[in-house]
Structure 1
Amino acid sequence: MLILQLAIILAAAKVAGSLSVRLGQPSVLGKLLIGIVLGPSVFGLVNETETLAELSQIGAILLMFIAGLETDIERFKQTGKAATFVGLGGMIMPMVFGYLAGVLLNLTTLQSWFLGLLLSATSVSISVQALKELNQLKSRAGAAILGAAVIDDVAVILALAFLMSMAGEDVHFTAIILKKIAFFAAAILAGWKTVPWFLRKFSSLQVTETVISSALIICLVYAYFAEYAGVAAIIGAYMAGLAISTTNFKHEVFEKVETISYSIFVPVFFASIGVSAQFSGIAQNLGLIVLLSVIAILTKFIGAAAGAKLSGFNRKSSLGIGSAMVSRGEVALILSAIGIESKLLSQDMFACIVVVILVTTVVTPPLMKWFFREAASGE
């Protein structure tokens, strides 16, 4: 059954992506929407399974790995201030307004802060594809967005650890911080010394496709240890791409990993987001979903855009950066699952949040198309 479902997903995703481009939108929007059509919410041709979820995760990892390979290291270094302002601006504003929404909904103080934290999460794996299609991935704005995603991810996880300790969970805040510091230090050191050495040694083996195999090994190891350290796997994959981008193997790895990724794993990732959408029982909570969706979109957009403007970007580029930070994606879904387990989210609120995450994910590509086109026309 999985084989047939993969065939359906690949065919539908490519056709829907092409149709989306013809309508003037990024192809990723069509791939997201076709997932909803294929999934249980509409036709039920494709069901959410553990295997499909694993393939989807590989797609997200490879997408961020490619983003790392395409990142200009020098430009990335130059956008440190912008990335910090964008990341923190796009986190603080959603957290505050999310907390206020929780108070308005008569949630407890801890539940309200958790809702704010949930809305402050960012996942730019969707934005990366839109940036590629808009030729903005290698730009100064693209570098700032990717850097901000790393900062946002780390800040949200640390804030979560602090909140869970306040909730009485067995969380050692200092240990969590040290674990993340150790990961980033090891990742940077390995990228400087170990990655080039491993690529040279492994690629000399007398078998076929050793360069791409060695690169994928590095990517998956980075992703695994990132997740083990409490950092999102996609951040580890992005750092692996950055490490390889400084070597002479960059172009060969990029060409081959892009072929592998976009032929199967990335389309599955985009479509599976729509497949996993659950719309049952949302009618009675429609008002709440609309309220949280508006808060989620506007606060992230305005907060990140304000951070970009304060760091020196012009108004139109700042709006483009703000739009790219709107998508919550898998990071917010992971936090939602933690909220259910720790009783910081009710089942009804969890169902609403899942729909809100989907809304933010679907609106991000067209928002980026609009604002980056405006920025380009203003140059």
Structure 2
Amino acid sequence: MIALQIVLILLATKVAGQISIRLGQPSVLGKILVGILIGPAILGWINENEIIQTFSEIGVLLLMFLAGLETNLKTLNDNKKAALLVATGGIIAPILLGYVGAQIYNFSLAESIFIGLLLSATSVSISVQTLREIGWLKSKEGSTLLGAAVLDDVIVVILIAVALSVFADSNTNLAILITKKILFFAMIILASKWLVPRFIKLFSSFKVTETILSAGLIVAFCFAYFAEYLGVAGIIGTFFAGVAISQTKFKNEMENKVEPLANGFFVPFFFTSIGLNVSFISMDSQIGFVFIFSLIAVVSKFIGSGYGAKLSGFTTRSSMGIGAGMISRGEVALILATMGLESKLFPSDYYTSIIMVIILTTIVTPPLLKLFFGAKEDRLYENKMNANL
């Protein structure tokens, strides 16, 4: 049975991706939508199970590992101020607008603050794939997006911990949590500089097959485990693993070996699993909630992060593109929503609806990125023509 599901998912995502490209959209959009089509929401051919979930988790980890491999560390460092402004704007605006929206539905103070924090989360994995497709991942805008997403994740997790310690019956120790975040980044920096290059060099001398690929995967999943152990998203760990390896002479070989494995097999499961989580059951009574909070989720990130990008010196169009790239909430918000439900900081009656909001933000992000950025070559030609006028 699982063999048939693998065939169906791989075939459906590639065909849907091609159709999406032919319609002038990133392939990511088609891959997500086909998950809704073949999943429980419509046709019911595929239901999420443990194997699909595992492949999906591996897929998103490898996707961010590739993003790290393609990241220029100097460009990332040069744009750290812009990334901070983008992340800050992308946190403040959703908190404020989310709080206002929650008050409309008579949520309590604690619930209103939590939903604002939930909408502040950003998952850039979808944006990464879209930027790779249209040629903007290695640009200044792409580096700013990646940096902002990392900062956003760390800041929001800390704010969520504060909310849990204040409003919920929680044993969360804020000092310990912040110490863990500092320890994570300190250990990652040290390991990236001293341990990773030596480890891969040692492995490359082994007389067995695919030592470079195996070494890279060991580093990536070790970083992911360490990140999750210290309360940071695993995708942040694999991203920094990729950045670490990108500073070595093995960068190109690693990228050439990981990309077929990731995009050829595991990543399609990640995109499909997003659609598999969609359900239209009992949504009639809460369609207004889904519409209002989807609008808040999109507008708050678009304006907040976009304004932060504008303040840091980006053009209006690039700022709008960066704002669009921060809209997707993805798996980070899904995790936070579950935390809120378990700690009673989020009303259980609205859990399915907020999941729909998170999924809708993920679906709208690829076409918005394509709209504001366009293909890299097209923008370069446009800028050249404008300069000659």
**Does residue 86 in structure 1 map to residue 53 in structure 2?**
no
Structure 2 residue aligned with 1:215:
216
In structure 1, what is the equivalent of residue 51 of structure 2?
51
Counterpart position of 1:205: 206
Partner residue in 2 for 1:21: 21
Residues 247-282 of structure 1 show CA distances to partners (whole Å, capped at 9, x for unaligned) of 000000000100100111011111111012122111
Specify the SS of the correspondent of 1:205.
coil
Whether the 8 Å contact between 1:316 and 1:378 is mirrored in structure 2 is no
- Matched residue count: 379
Please report the TM-score for the alignment, with normalisation by the length of structure 1. Answer: 0.99
Residue type of the alignment partner of 2:274: I
- Kindly tell me: are residues 221 and 374 of structure 1, through their superposed partners in 2, closer, same or farther at Cα, counting changes over 3 Å? closer
**Counterpart Cα distance in 2 of 1:265 and 1:148:** 26
Equivalent residues of 1:305, 1:319 under 8 A apart: yes
Does the residue aligned with 2:301 lie in a helix, a strand or coil?
helix
Query: Paired residue for 2:149?
Result: 149
Which residue of structure 2 lines up, in the alignment, with residue 3 of structure 1?
Answer: 3
Aligned to 1:253, the other structure's residue is in SS state helix
Partners of 1:16 and 1:270 in 2: CA distance? 11
The alpha carbon displacement at 1:373 in A equals 2.4
Report the AA paired with residue 325 of structure 2.
A
- Deviation at 1:185? 0.5
> What is residue 364 of structure 1 aligned with on the other side?
365
1:133 matched residue in structure 2: 133
Question: Structure 1: how far apart are the matches of 2:50 and 2:94?
Answer: 31
Quote how far apart the aligned CAs of 1:297 are.
Answer: 0.2
Q: Which moved more, 1:274-283 or 1:254-263?
A: 274-283
Q: Structure 1 residues 110 and 378, CA, compared in 2 at 3 Å: closer, same or farther? A: farther
Distance 2:144 2:89 in 1: 13
**1:330 maps to what in 2?**
331
Deviation of the 1:331 alpha carbon = 0.3
User: Does residue 347 of the first structure (1) align with residue 348 of the second (2)?
Assistant: yes
| CA–CA separation in structure 1 for the residues paired with 2:197 and 2:215 | 10
After TM superposition, the structure 1 = structure 2 runs for residues 314-329 of structure 1, keeping only pairs within 5 Å, are 314-329=315-330
Distance in 2 of aligned mates of 1:207 and 1:281:
55
Query: What residue identity is the alignment partner of 1:123?
Result: S
- Between the aligned partners of 2:314 and 2:178, the Cα distance in structure 1 is 31
Contact preservation (8 Å) 1:211, 1:253: yes
- Structure-2 residue corresponding to 1:32: 32
Which residue number in structure 2 is paired with residue 159 of structure 1? 159
Superposition RMSD on alpha carbons, in Å?
1.0
Deviations 1:323-378 (A, max 9, x none): 00000000000001001101111222111111001110000000000000299245
Query: How far off is 1:283 after superposition?
Result: 1.1
- Structure 1 stretch displaced more, 302-311 or 270-279: 270-279
Residues 205-244 of structure 1 aligned to structure 2 (within 5 Å): 205-244=206-245
Q: Which amino acid aligns with 2:119?
A: L
Among all aligned residue pairs of Structure 1 and Structure 2, give the percentage whose two residues are the same amino acid: 50
CA distance in structure 1 between the partners assigned to 2:99 and 2:383 by the alignment: 37
Structure 2: tracts of 5 or more residues without a match: 385-389
Residue in 2 aligned with 1:254? 255
Say whether the 8 Å CA contact 1:304–1:321 is kept in structure 2.
yes
Corresponding residue number in structure 2 for 1:101: 101
For the 8 Å contact 1:26–1:369, the answer to whether it is kept is yes
Matched to 1:364, the amino acid is T
Paired residues of 2:134 and 2:375 also in contact (CA < 8 A): no
- Asked whether the 8 Å contact 2:165–2:171 carries over to 1, the reply is yes
Which residue is 1:263 aligned to? Answer: 264
**Deviation readout 1:140-182 (Å, 9 max, x if unpaired):** 0000000000000000000001000002311100000000100
Letter paired with 2:267 = V
Residues in 1 aligned to 2:67 and 2:355: alpha-carbon distance in whole angstroms: 26
Q: Is the Cα contact below 8 Å between 1:316 and 1:374 reproduced in 2? A: no
Q: Give the secondary structure class of the aligned counterpart of 1:344.
A: coil
Q: Cα deviations across residues 259-318 of structure 1 (Å, max 9, x unaligned)?
A: 100111011111111012122111110011000000000001110000000011111100
Displacement after TM superposition at 1:3 (Å): 1.6
